[in-house]
Amino acid sequence: MINKKAILLYSGGQDSTTCLFWALKRFEWVEAIGFDYGQRHQSEIEAARRIALKACVSYQLVKINTLSEFSRNALTNKDIAVDENILPGEPPNTLVEGRNLLFLTYAAIYAKQAGADNLVTGVGQTDYSGYPDCRNEFIVSANQTLNLAFDHTFQIHAPLMWKTKADIWQMAAELSIFELVKHETITCYNGIPGDGCGECPSCRLRQRGLDEYLATQSIQS
């Protein structure tokens, strides 16, 4: 039987922060795990630590050196500028290939030792921005693979899988964390908290979702 303990893959961004508070309402015990994989900015790790502390959740940081050594991309190589415009059919140059599969594997190792059967991740397919390891078919496949590899029954939860960024803002409001998400999370590829730089693809996606959410609130009022 799946137990009521969960390990959350936590980056300090909008999506994983929303999932953190979602998980706290659904599981009796939640712990967050983050990854230092050579990303451009340490500010997101610091944001994760601060928010986890506010949520009274233990935060474990795992250092992974191989991603920055093996993968040439704008998130782990500071000499590569973030592409502000993504060509149709082409993955963004912020794609860190294999990242989510590796993170889930580390999280499963940690979860089994901690006696937790549930893994929570903030990936989503609706606004997946060209990242293949954010798709539902990947999560389903990864879940099966982890269960076989560990001879254990894990359940991967991806509560944002079919939500747009506007839906995620609404979810944050329903969880009473709208202001926290808006001002304290870091989604920006340039490591700027809150509204971010406003120019990178991640900031534009976040702002578009916020505008759409606020528009629905204006209509309702």
CA–CA gap between residue 57 and residue 80 (Å, rounded) = 35
Q: pTM of the full predicted structure? A: 0.89
pLDDT in tens, 80-106: 666 666 655 566 665 667 789 999 999
pLDDT in tens, 198-209: 988 889 999 999
Select from 3.20.20.80, 3.40.190.10, 3.40.50.620, 2.60.40.2130 the CATH code of 5-220.
Answer: 3.40.50.620
When the pLDDT of each residue in the chain is averaged and rounded to a whole number, the result is 88
> Is the pLDDT confidence value at 68 over 80?
no
Q: What is the pLDDT of residue 137?
A: 95
Q: What is the pLDDT of residue 42?
A: 85
Q: What is the pLDDT of residue 83?
A: 65
121 contacts 143 by C-beta, under 8 angstroms:
no
Other Cβ atoms within 10 Å of 5 Cβ, number: 16
Burial of 146 (0-12, 13-18, 19+ CB in 10 A): buried
189 contacts 75 by C-beta, under 8 angstroms:
yes
